[in-house]
Amino acid sequence: MPRFALKIEYNGQGFYGWQKQNSLPTIQGEIEQALAKLEPNLPNIGAAGRTDAGVHGLGQVAHCDMFKDWKSERLKGALNFHLQPAKISVIDCAPVEPDWHARFLATSREYLFRIVCRAAPVTHDAGLVWQSRHPLDVKAMREGALQLLGTHDFTTFRSTMCQAVSPIKTLDEINISERHYPGGSEVRFQVRARSFLHNQVRSIVGTLERVGARAWQPYQVGKALRAQDRTACGPVCPPDGLYLESVTYTENPFTITNPPLELSDKPANDETIPD
């Protein structure tokens, strides 16, 4: 069966996450329904990351098997037609080897989290950002984040429902940037690792937000990490504002390079995959 890699973006509002669930709307379920309109009885698709309810995708990657040898552009167009009106879009499609796997061949995943700091309610970005009514100390959050880089036991930042065999993960990068605008600012966290524990990114951002709000001191982030105790974690932030931004492979499967949607000026400077 010909196999294709798909690069997918989606608005997670109204969906119960990526993974298909009986009688509940999910991203996987919508895409498999669209595929069934092209060819019946296809195998289930596989994805690089199983994002949770309300989490968005800018560069999710999945693979699907077809019976017919489709032209990539035609398959992409047909899927996007049948995905309407769901807020899901296939932004790239490419043929891959029959054993190519979106999850197991991924070398890193990068998550983006957006916090808007302002007193007035958000309108256009409602459901797409987490709103803070107070400003955040970005310098202090960066100091706290440094203590999480590298290989650690992340039990503190792991959901009690996490099914990963081990809590040991390697966090390769945490970039925190801030953009000011009239009436407020937006703080962005970009977190990169090969794989993540369940709710790891949301737990980290929620904890760092407490540092930014000056409710915690930066050193307390390292203390919480070393505790290896879920109760030592700060509040877990909501899924609003979390995006699976990109997935990296040793060999890029896509012949057409379409970068993820730019929400605004991205500075130069999440198996258990889910978050």
Q: Would you please indicate which residues are annotated as catalytic (active-site) residues?
A: 52
Q: Residue 178: what are its φ and ψ, rounded to 5°?
A: -135, 140
Q: Considering only CA atoms, which of 189, 165, 181, 200 is closest in space to residue 49?
A: 200
Over its C-alpha atoms, the chain yields an Rg (Å, rounded) of: 19
What's the burial of 271, exposed, middle or buried (CB within 10 Å: 0-12/13-18/19+)? middle
CB atoms within 10 A of CB 256: 12
Q: How far apart are CA 25 and CA 16, in angstroms?
A: 6
Q: Considering only CA atoms, which of 17, 51, 103 is closest in space to residue 244?
A: 51
In whole angstroms, how far apart are CA 3 and each of 44, 63, 143, 178, 201? 12, 7, 44, 41, 31
In whole angstroms, how far apart are CA 185 and each of 43, 120, 274? 45, 12, 28
- Residue 144 CA to its chain's centroid (Å): 22
Output b/e per residue, 238-253; b: 16+ Cβ within 10 A: bbbbbbbbbbebeeeb
